[in-house]
């Protein structure tokens, strides 16, 4: 799965949880998604669990979860690392 595919799936998750129609351009350009789209803790939790399911990932650390919800770049990197970890297993 390349970066674009990951971003597209993440975009879909955010739109679904937030109930908003965000363009993919706006989604990609924001450096702090939580602030830009007003993501509260309950929404953040929903986003995290959907990311886990969609990408077969495990996100345990809550501080990391907060960072991921806000940063597209970090989330993409995390997902790719998770895939590599699973391959190594």
Partner 1 sequence: MVRGIKEKMEVEARIKKDMEYEFLYGDADSFMKHFDMDEASKFHTRKWFEGYALAFERPVNCSVEVDSSFISSNKQLDGVIKINLDYLKYDSEILLLYFVWDIRKDVIVCSKFTVQNTLDSIIHSGIKELRLSMTGDILEKDVDLEDLKEAEDPLEPQMYARILIKSVRYRISNPEVNSAALLSESMCYNTIKLSEQLKNTDLKESFYALNNFAKKYLAVKSYLDASGEAVTSPKEQSLVSMKSLDDVYYEIKKQGKSGVNCIENISFYLSILQLIGIKITDYFVVVQPFHFMALVHIDEDIFLISFNDVIVMRKTRLYGDSSVNSIFNPLWFYSLDMELTNMSHKEMDILKTFFKKIPVFPIGPIPEEKYCTEKNEDTLPCFEQYESVEELHRAIRKHVFEKSRLQPHSVYTWAKYAYQLMYVKKPQAFVISGFLSKKIQSFLKKIGSVTELIQWIKVSIDKGSIFPEKDRIMTAEQVLTHRTAAEKDLALFFYTILAAAKMIETGGIIITSDTSYVIGLADGQVDIWNMSDLTEDKLVSGQVMMAFNEKSSYNYYFDSVDRLKELNWYEEINHRS
Residues that bind partner 1 (CB under 8 A): 41-42, 45-46, 48-50, 52-53, 58, 60, 62, 89
Smaller CB separation from partner 1, 2 or 60 = 60
Q: Which is nearer to partner 1, 36 or 49 (CB)?
A: 49
Distance of alpha carbon 81 from alpha carbon 15, whole angstroms: 24
SS3 state at 58: coil
Minimum separation from the CB atom of position 41 to partner 1 (A): 4
Write down the least CB distance from residue 49 to partner 1, Å.
4
**Least Å distance between CB 50 and partner 1?**
7
Region class of 56: left (phi > 0), else alpha (psi between -120 and 50), else beta? left
Smaller CB distance to partner 1: residue 2 or 40?
40
Measured distance CA(21)–CA(76) in Å, rounded:
21
User: Contact, 47 vs 13, CB < 8 A?
Assistant: yes
């Amino acid at each position: 799965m390349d970066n674009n595919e990951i971003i597209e799936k993440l975009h879909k998750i955010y739109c679904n949880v937030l109930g908003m129609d965000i363009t993919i351009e706006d989604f990609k350009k924001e450096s702090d998604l939580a602030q830009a789209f007003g993501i509260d803790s309950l929404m953040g939790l929903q986003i995290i669990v959907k990311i886990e399911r969609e990408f077969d990932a495990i996100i345990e650390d809550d501080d990391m979860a907060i960072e991921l919800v806000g940063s597209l770049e970090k989330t993409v990197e995390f997902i790719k690392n998770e895939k590599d970890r699973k391959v190594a297993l």
